[in-house]
Structures are given as C-alpha cells and as structure tokens.
Amino acid sequence: MIYSSRESIVRRPKRMHFVDLTPYTYSSKQDDTPTMNIGWLDIAVPFERGSVPAGFVERLKTLIQNPYARTRGFHACQFCDDLQAALHCADDIERKLYEDCHADGRFSSAEIRVRGKDGRQYAAPRMIAHYVEVHGYKPPEEFIEAVMQGDR
C-alpha cells in the first residue's frame, strides 16, 4: 500500500483488502446500521470480473463526489502498472500527476456508503469506480442494485 504526505511517498506493508459482503470494521466512524465491505481489492487476491448495467459507473462516479469518510494519505491503485512504476521511481510526486490520479480514481483517500433496500449499508473505497471502469471489477449484485436504486 502506498500512502503519501504532501511531499513524499512512503511504502507501507499493510494491505487494504476486505472480502466483499463481510462486516465492515475498518473505520471507527460507524453508526448502528449493519455495514458490509465492497470493493476493497488487493492485487494478491483474485476478484470477480464482468459487465455491469448501463449507467452503473456513472452513478458510482456521482457517489464518490460526496465521500462518507476521508483518511490521511492515500491508497494508489495496485493494478495500474504504469502508475506503480512512476511512484516507485520518484521521491516526490508532480502536483499535476497527483491531482489527475485523485480526479480519475487511481488514488483514493476516502470511502463511500450506499444503502440497500433492506436497510443494509455498504462501505466501499472511493477507488471503486476506477476498479469497475478500468479493471473490470464486478461488485456483488446486491451492491449493484443498491447503487442503481439511487439511495445513499
């Protein structure tokens, strides 16, 4: 996992992987609503790939504009080889690259919440839209339905 302060990148061994539909335990910012993990991917763990309904990525992109919680530093997409190479070669990030990566989802420092019909809540990294659009990640159907129904 790669975290960054404003000036430098630090490589940390801890990974941010949680199996889809397991109880959410990452952050202390929680309410009493049962919350399930979605989209906490890791390069060392295979994930479901496939197509998603038309409009799904656009809805995700809207949701990630208003994150539920922000964290310090950021997580960089482990699946983008060119990004990983660039990060490992530099001591400092160019400001434009930093801004571009945050804008298009290759870096994430926040998570979203989506509420399903049954009242269940889903917690996903802001990077989930990037995972779906660029890397073909297919979240579980119940999460797709919750996103498509539009409740947050």
Helix-strand-coil split of the chain, %, nearest 5: 30, 25, 45
* 1 pLDDT above the threshold of 60: no
Q: How many CB atoms lie within 10 A of CB 92?
A: 11
Q: How many CB atoms lie within 10 A of CB 62?
A: 13
Q: Which of the pair, 14 or 59, is modelled with greater confidence?
A: 59
Where do the structural domains in the chain lie, given as residue ranges? 2-149
pLDDT digits (tens, 9 = 90+) for 11-35: 443 557 899 999 998 776 666 788 9
* 137 pLDDT above the threshold of 60: yes
Nearest 5°: CA angle at 17, between 14 and 21? 150
Reference 9, options 127, 70, 94, 102; nearest CA is: 94
Range 93-99 average pLDDT: 66
Does the global pTM surpass 0.85? no
The confidence band for 47, taking pLDDT boundaries of 50, 70 and 90, is: very high
- 3-state class of 62 per DSSP? helix
For residue 129, give the amino acid letter: A
Range 45-62 average pLDDT: 96
* 139 pLDDT above the threshold of 70: yes
* 86 pLDDT above the threshold of 80: no
Is the separation of the CB atoms in 1 and 10 below 8 Å?
A: no
